[in-house]
Amino acid sequence: MVRQLGNAQVEVAVVLSPLFLRISSAARRTGVREIVWTGVQEYMPPPLRLLYPIKARREGQWVNVPRQRGVHAFGDVLRSAAPQPVANSPDDPAVYMFTGGTTALPKAVVLTHRNLVCNVLQSAAWDSQHRTMGERAMGVLPFFHSYGMTAVMNVSLWIGAPIILIPRFDQHLVLRALAKWRPTLFHGVPTTYIALLNAPGFRSRGVGSIRTCISGAMGLPGEVQRKWEEACTGRLVEGYGLTEASPITHCNPILGPRKAGSIGLPYPDTEARIVDPESGAVLRPGEVGELAIRGPQVMRGYLHSPEETARTLRNGWLFTGDMAWMDADGFFYIVDRRKEMINVGGLKVFPREVEEVLYQHPAVKEAAVVGSPDPVKGEVVKAFVVATKDHHASADEIVAFCRDRLAPHKVPHAMEFRDALPKTLVGKVLRRVLAEEARVDAK
């Protein structure tokens, strides 16, 4: 928190009261001079507003915010503020959005007003079925993440759709909201769909109202897509984006043909191509290289990081760091992150390819694959698996399953069962954390 507040040169922090002590501690070591706080109880109906502090104190969640210089209650600020017009241009920064930090420390991405507005217009145009009345968006994605900010919050504001706000992802809370509010639009990450599919009574809840489901932030396993569409009337399609592009650049058609395993086609006004990661030469269809993107949603750069910006933005093209290929019809396929590629004795292994096979096994609920150091081959494949409750299988059985479907160097050399996988707050699996654990274990 100190690193991010300092990097963004934050002067005013707006926080919920449970986070006040944490933010005030960080503020003393940064340039933050004002803290505006609010309590969640202020937005509850009157009876709950009185009862919430009792419950919060019992659970150790209550924080008494001191009255002191530089600390302000949000309600007081609203009542005393005199709004002033603010001059800005479309190319002024609108937000410093930090990257997810799945492969490296988070970086502050400078997104302009033009970037955000264009990505909203692109997203709205992609779903031509948007109705002016009756759309309801399920808000399970946090809005501090670029995917939730654009696809759920900003697009909903643009089309006039109410958002069913979920304070934190809890499958039972989401299922109750589905039944009560019957959303028509649902955005999530693969782990969201996996959790709901494995929730008791999922099929009997209000999933029949969902018209469009989109998955992003990480690769959507084909088995998850198939099971979801068996249980839900809404079509589930995979899209792609990254914080540096506001974030959406590709999506499968919501109507019309789609392709399994593909992130789909580029958004309107978005150019995409596959290039050699070293030379930048454009590759032919079917060849694997780095995905490069150009469009109005591409960031201005990284805040206070000119060298990192120069490596990522080259001649107007955003080099994503994702290895991919394009087929003859213009559909794109992500192979995996360039930084997460596993080198087994000089042979390339992309984690997603192995994970796709693992998800086909009925005993596997969640899976993640990383490289583990090996004295002979340099690296070998290690799999982390969360097992389903209904099926039981040993590590040897799952490895044998993989051996029948993968080349020998791609078969997991080691497997570890976990109760859960480490994830970001949006639900994206942190392979970086697992890779570090694998390195420690190998030593």
Q: Which domains does the chain have, with CATH numbers?
A: 2-80 (no CATH), 93-336 (3.40.50.12780), 341-442 (3.30.300.30)
Helices and strands counted in the chain (H then E): 14, 23
Q: Are 169 and 196 in contact (CB under 8 A)?
A: no
* Exposure string for 199-215, b = 16+ CB within 10 A, e = fewer: eeebeebebebbbbbbb
CA 358 to CA 361: how far, in whole Å?
A: 6
SS3 417: strand
Q: What are phi and psi of 281, to 5 degrees?
A: -65, 140
Range list of β-strands (E), 189-306: 212-215, 235-241, 248-251, 265-266, 271-275, 289-294, 301-302
Encoding tokens for residue 141?
Answer: 């994605």
Question: Which residue in 147, 436, 183, 195 sits closest to 297, CA to CA?
Answer: 147
Residue that is written with structure tokens 């109705």 in the block: 131
Give start and end residues of each alpha helix (H) in 366-430: 395-403
Q: Strands, DSSP E only, in 263-362? A: 265-266, 271-275, 289-294, 301-302, 313-314, 317-326, 332-337, 342-344, 347-349
In angstroms, rounded to a whole number, what is the distance separating the alpha carbons of residues 422 and 427? 9
Among 196, 144, 198, which Cα is nearest to 170's?
A: 196
User: How crowded is residue 23: how many other Cβ atoms within 10 Å of its Cβ?
Assistant: 19
Count of C-beta atoms within a 10 Å radius of residue 355: 23
Which residue in this structure is represented by tokens 């399609």? 237
Contact yes or no for 98/109 (Cβ under 8 A): yes
Q: What is the pLDDT of residue 281?
A: 93
Nearest-10 Cα torsion for 291, 266, 423, 10: 90
* Tens of pLDDT, residue by residue, the chain (443 residues): 899 999 999 999 999 998 999 999 999 999 999 999 999 888 888 889 889 988 888 988 889 999 899 999 999 999 998 888 989 999 999 999 998 765 567 899 999 999 999 999 999 999 887 766 789 999 999 898 899 999 999 999 999 999 999 988 888 899 999 989 999 999 999 889 988 988 887 766 667 888 899 999 888 888 889 988 888 878 899 999 999 999 999 999 998 888 988 999 999 999 999 999 888 899 999 999 999 999 999 999 999 999 999 999 999 999 998 999 999 999 999 987 777 888 887 787 888 889 989 999 999 999 999 999 988 788 899 999 999 888 788 999 999 999 999 989 999 999 999 999 998 878 888 888 998 888 888 87
| DSSP string over 126-168 | H-TT--SSS--EEE-S-TTSHHIIIIIIIHHHHHT--EEE-SS
- Rounded Cα–Cα distance for residues 181 and 129 (Å): 20
Which tens digits make up the pLDDT trace of 117-136?
A: 999 999 999 988 776 678 99
Distance CA 120, CA 137 (A): 15
pLDDT at 337: 76
Q: Write down the residue that tokens 């080259």 correspond to.
A: 314
Q: Quick one: pLDDT at residue 230?
A: 86
Residue 207 has what pLDDT? 75
Confirm if 210 and 184 have CB atoms less than 8 A apart.
Answer: yes
Instruction: Give the whole-angstrom CA distance, residue 147 versus residue 127.
Output: 16
Cβ pair 193, 147 in contact under 8 A: no
Burial classification of residue 379, based on how many CB atoms lie within 10 Å of its CB (0-12 exposed, 13-18 middle, 19 or more buried):
buried
Q: What angle do CA 145, 148, 149 make, to 5 degrees?
A: 80
Inter-residue contact 282 to 274 (CB < 8 Å): yes
Beta strand residue intervals within 55-105, DSSP E: 71-73, 93-98
H or E element at residue 369: strand 364-374
Strands 378-387 and 313-314: unpaired
Picking from 97, 107, 112, the residue whose alpha carbon sits closest to that of residue 296 is 112
